[in-house]
Structure 1
Amino acid sequence: MASISARRLSKELKEIMNEGCPVGITLLKAEDFVSWQFTIQVMGESLYKDEIFTLLFRFDRDYPISSPAVQFVTVDGKVSPVHPHVYSNGHICASILGSEWSPVLSVISVCVTLQSMLASCKKKERPADNDRYVRHAPDNPKKTQWHYDDDTV
């Protein structure tokens, strides 16, 4: 019997294959129900115009009850965006990946939210505690207890 996670991811993948991804989002790899990769690009005028970033989604057996682990990764020389909520190791401080996660959210809705987060950025800079965080960060960003205090960037 397939797990809830596998059934849900199978459904999401089928929708992506049948309907495609929103503009600026491309599925790179979804060979299993453990990890998927997407590229995201901010459309229109933004600080990130013409930049493409790669997202790695890692799923545990409790998805969609629990959020996926999502981070920007370096692929083919493409690096993580310089953003006040993105650490240089690719970890993302975004409440929808933590305390505001809901099982109604999907992989695509996370991609769209992160695309929007980049589009609304007013200044390219790393989080103030980037160096300290990266030195001590766990491999899995879900193991970080984030403090969400700034949604203005």
Structure 2
Amino acid sequence: MSSIASKRLAKELREVHTSGCPVGITLVQADDFEKWLFSIEVMGESLYKGQSFLLQFRFDPQYPISAPAVQFVVDNTRKAPVHPHIYSNGHICASILGNEWSPVLSVTAVCVTMQSMLASCKSLELPEDNDRYVRHAPENPKKTRFMYHDDTV
């Protein structure tokens, strides 16, 4: 990990430990500066009421210049949220994780954005190309060139 990335991640982790996370967001694991896990629960009335999801962040040495690889954890006990911008393998089609990433964004800001994206969802449906994408998707969602054409969901 580069010095810049380590300093930035140490600062963000310190802020999480001292100030806490926003309501509905809980740090689950941050043992190193390579992978962090957060639990995300949508607050208030939503299609996801009572559900929580595990969000994984993987950092490369170029963080925060480069966006982290962010995805919902999918395993034997967890599924990704059913959402028009979230694939069943947990990959997320969101411009802030791609071409609209900015180094001023933080891990907690991304968590809040994901929480808000879920809260504003109007229909529980997968992306149109889910099956094809999941069959051919790279392990790292950052290696996908998503088309950001619908920000109304």
**What's the counterpart of residue 83 of structure 2?**
83
Shift in Å, 1:76 = 7.3
Give yes or no for contact 1:84–1:126 (8 Å, CA) kept in 2. Answer: yes
Shift in Å, 1:77 = 1.8
Q: Structure 1 residue runs of 4+, over 3 Å off?
A: none
**Structure 1: how far apart are the matches of 2:145 and 2:104?**
22
**What's the counterpart of residue 150 of structure 2?**
150
1:49 aligns with 2:37: no
Q: Which amino acid aligns with 1:70?
A: V
3-state SS of 1:47 partner: coil
**What's the counterpart of residue 132 of structure 2?**
132
**Structure 2: how far apart are the matches of 1:150 and 1:118?**
15
Q: Matched residues, percent identical?
A: 69
**What's the counterpart of residue 107 of structure 1?**
107
- Residues 113-135 of structure 1 show CA distances to partners (whole Å, capped at 9, x for unaligned) of 00000000000000000000001
Shift in Å, 1:70 = 0.2
CA RMSD of aligned residues (A): 1.3
Aligned residues: 153
- Residues 48-79 of structure 1 show CA distances to partners (whole Å, capped at 9, x for unaligned) of 00000000000000000000000000367232
Give yes or no for contact 2:34–2:58 (8 Å, CA) kept in 1. Answer: yes
Give yes or no for contact 1:36–1:58 (8 Å, CA) kept in 2. Answer: yes
**What's the counterpart of residue 92 of structure 2?**
92
Q: Under a length normalisation based on structure 2, what TM-score does the superposition of the two structures give?
A: 0.97
Q: Which amino acid aligns with 1:107?
A: V
Give yes or no for contact 1:52–1:78 (8 Å, CA) kept in 2. Answer: no
Q: Which runs of 5+ in 1 are unaligned?
A: none
Q: Which runs of 5+ in 2 are unaligned?
A: none
**What's the counterpart of residue 71 of structure 2?**
71
Give yes or no for contact 1:83–1:118 (8 Å, CA) kept in 2. Answer: yes
Give yes or no for contact 2:2–2:62 (8 Å, CA) kept in 1. Answer: no
